Amino acid sequence: MAFTVKLNILLFFSFVQLAIDGQNNLINHVSDISPQISLFSKNYSPNVSCYRIPSMITAVNGDLIVAVDERVTSCGDLKWNDDINIVIRRSRDNGNTWSGIEKIIDFPLGQSASDPSMIVDKTTGQIFLFYNFMDLNIKRNVYFHHVITSKDNGLTWSRPKDITAQITLPNWSNDFKFITSGRGIQTTKGTLLHSIVNIEKGTYLFGSDDHGQSWYLLNTAINPGDESKIVQLSDGNLMVNSRVNNLGHRYVHKSVDNGKTWSSNSDSSLIDPSCNASIINHTITSHGIRENVLIFANANSKTTRENMTIKLSFDDGVTWTEGKTIYEGKSAYSSLCILKNGNIGLFFEKNDYQECTFVSFSFDWLSQK
């Protein structure tokens, strides 16, 4: 009898663990990877059609800030949706607990804001949040580009500033153009850099050398490329990792002259279903040696937005690990950051745009084969 009871208890707890692993698609070390937390879901807000387009940064004080589109009337993109707001949540404990949903951009009906992205200026501590704006009542199909700033780690935000004239060309006024969602970077020299896409002409970089007081466009098209993310490599040069529609994998562009010219190559090791992705660099110390690692997240499939996977490169993107699957189901856009405890945070669209979810994991877990 005693043996039967112990066996039943053992089987029960084994079943519970398998159920947890199956639900989250997270295997291996429980201490090395957090539970997945749904931060935005239309189930929380019956008047919202969906939450989309994740962006995430770590403020200089260590707080996490996540931002998304709150798409009210429909799940349609900017030019087809007359009510999109920008909402955020914040965490002060590496993503274990979160503030409530805060609406930081809310224009009148007919005016929409979409595609949030952020940059942290580590010198000043200021956070820049960019978005694309459209007045569907007056100038439908005309894209404008705004930025708001926070000087207190995301607690309060400035009024919007229109920087369209600074980061686009006059003959672009009627073009389909948008700042890429997710995040930009600050280089080791302090320059702020981000990407803007002109569907007809290519991807471009824009930047600031005065901590965001003014912005400029690097007038060199990067092709092919749709939504694109920029990183600085270990040698100081720049890499842009791009979505290319109907290709089945990513394109990688490199510049050795601060973005004046680019060399471009397809990367068949980074398969992709024509979707936005995320890439960041991370410095680790092993046996007293500092090493630069690239961390890449995307829907790891050639045709379907599913199978959210993290891959690593220890040679500035020449080769990539096979990767670890974070979620096997429907998944799309993502945003990565390094937490104040040294772990890696991932914020991604999950379950066919039904929710935006946060998960974190240690680098040791991620790098285990």
Domain residue limits, the chain: 33-367
Nearest to 117 by CA among 41, 65, 188, 176: 65
Q: Which residues contact 245 (CB under 8 A, 6 or more apart)?
A: 226, 274
Helices and strands: H and E segment counts in the chain: 3, 25
The HSE-up count of residue 231 (CA atoms within 13 Å, CB side) is 23
Structure tokens at 99: 């503030």
Positive/negative CA dihedral, 89, 325, 315, 293: positive
Architecture of domain 33-367: 6 Propeller (2.120)
The C-alpha angle with vertex 37 and arms to 35 and 38, in degrees rounded to 5, equals 150
Whole-number Å distance between alpha carbons of 166 and 346: 31
Cross-strand bridge partners of residue 235: none
The HSE-up count of residue 224 (CA atoms within 13 Å, CB side) is 12
Residues in the chain predicted with pLDDT less than 70, given as ranges, are: 1-31
Q: From residue 305, how far is each of 169, 173, 190, 301 by CA, in Å?
A: 33, 32, 35, 7
Look at residue 208 in the predicted model and tell me its pLDDT.
99
CB count, 10 Å around CB of 126?
20
Structure tokens at 333: 């856009």
Q: From residue 351, how far is each of 122, 243, 306, 329 by CA, in Å?
A: 34, 21, 9, 7
Length of the chain: 369
- The DSSP annotation for 181-224 comes to SEE-EE-TTS-EEEEEEETTTEEEEEEESSTTSS-EEEEEEESS
Q: 13 by DSSP, 3-state: which?
A: helix
Tell me which residue has tokens 């029960």: 12
CB count, 10 Å around CB of 45?
15
> Per residue in 17-31, is it b (16+ CB within 10 Å) or e — as a string?
eeeeeeebebeeeee
Cross-strand bridge partners of residue 69: 52, 86
Positive/negative CA dihedral, 341, 347, 350, 355: positive
Q: 122-172, pLDDT tens digit by residue?
A: 999 999 999 999 999 999 999 999 999 999 999 999 999 999 999 999 999
Query: Are 19 and 12 in contact, with CB atoms under 8 Å apart?
Result: no
Tell me which residue has tokens 């990183």: 231
- DSSP 8-state secondary structure symbol assigned to residue 33: B
Residue 7, φ and ψ in degrees, nearest 5 = -65, -40
